[in-house]
Amino acid sequence: MSASIAFVFPGQGSQSLGMLAEQAAQHRLIADTFAEASAALGYDLWSLTQQGPEELLNQTDKTQPAILAASIALWRLWLAEGGARPAYVAGHSLGEYSALVAAGSLGFADALRLVELRGQLMQQAVPVGQGGMAAILGLEDVDVIAACAEAAQGEVVSAVNFNAPGQVVIAGSASAVERAIEACKARGAKRAMPLPVSVPSHCALMKPAAERFAASVEALLWQAPQIPLVQNVSAAVVADLARLKSDLLAQLYSPVRWVESMVCLAGLGVTELVECGPGKVLGGLNKRCVKGINTHSLETPDAFAAARAALA
C-alpha cells in the first residue's frame, strides 16, 4: 500500500461508446469483468458499451452499471499488473459504488444490480422532461446557492455538485432550473448551461427514490471497507457500516461535496490521485480542487503504463 495514493472513481457523464476498447484488445481481464457483469445483469453489457445504441447507453439504469463495470475492470487490471494499493478511495456520485467494491465493502455483482435499480428508481422519481440539471461556471458557491433560493418560487432547485472552485452543478424542477440559470447569469456567471441528463440527481426530488432504495441497500451483505473511503455526503472517511449505508441513501438527494473530499484527501497526505474509470472528467476537476496533487488516468494502455511508471 502507498500512503500517498488515492484512487477516485468517476460518475455519470464519463461513459462513451467504445470505452476501454484499447485496453480490452490487450487484456483479457477487461472482457472477463464485463462478462461477469453481463451475467449479473442478464444482458450483454460489453456489446452495449461498444456498439450502442448510444441513447440506450445514456439511459441512467444502463449508464450506471456500465461505468461501474469499466471502473472495476481497470481496478482489477491495476492490481493484476502489480500496481500499488491506494491508501484511500473515493467516488464521484455513482463512483462511490465503484469505490465500495474496490474497498471490499460490497460484492461486484451486488453492486451492479444495486446501481441498475438506483438508476431505475431515480428515473421513476421524476419523469423525463420534468427535471433538469445545469452547470454554472465562474460563480462563487454562495452566489449559486443564493440564485437557486431566488429562483425556486415554491419549486425545487439547489446546488448539488460542488465539483471544483467556480464549477457548480444545480438540479431540480425543469422550470426552476431555467429560472436559476438566468439568476446565475444575472449574478455574473461566465457560463450557465443545461446538461443533457434525464434525471435531476442529488436534489430533494430524489427523496422518494432513496426511500424506495433503502430496503435493497439493507438486504445486501456488507463488509467494513478494507481501504478507507471518503464519502460524498460527509466529505470524510466513514468506517461505520450503518453510517456508510445511511450516507449512501442520503447521497441520492444531497450534494456531492467533491472539492471538500479532495481537500480531505490532501489533508490525509495524498499527493497522487488515480482516476480509475472511463474518461478524464475527475482529473480535470481534481487539479483545480487542490494544488500540488498529481493526477493519473488508466483509461488507455499508454495512460495506464505512464501511471504505473510514475507510481512504481
Please tell me the distance from the alpha carbon of residue 114 to that of residue 97, in angstroms, as a whole number: 9
DSSP 90: E
Residue written as grid cell 457523464: 13
Catalytic site residue 202? yes
Catalytic residue, candidates 71, 198, 201, 202: 202
What is the b/e burial string over 271-304, where b = at least 16 CB atoms within 10 angstroms of the residue's CB? ebbbbbbbbebbbebbeebbeebbbbbbbeeebb
Task: Give the residue from 43, 114, 38 showing the smallest Cα distance to 70.
Answer: 38
Helix, strand, coil abundance in the chain, percent, nearest 5: 50, 15, 30
Catalytic residue, candidates 14, 38, 71, 93: 93
Cis peptide upstream of residue 53 (ω within 30 degrees of 0): yes
Catalytic residue set: 93, 202
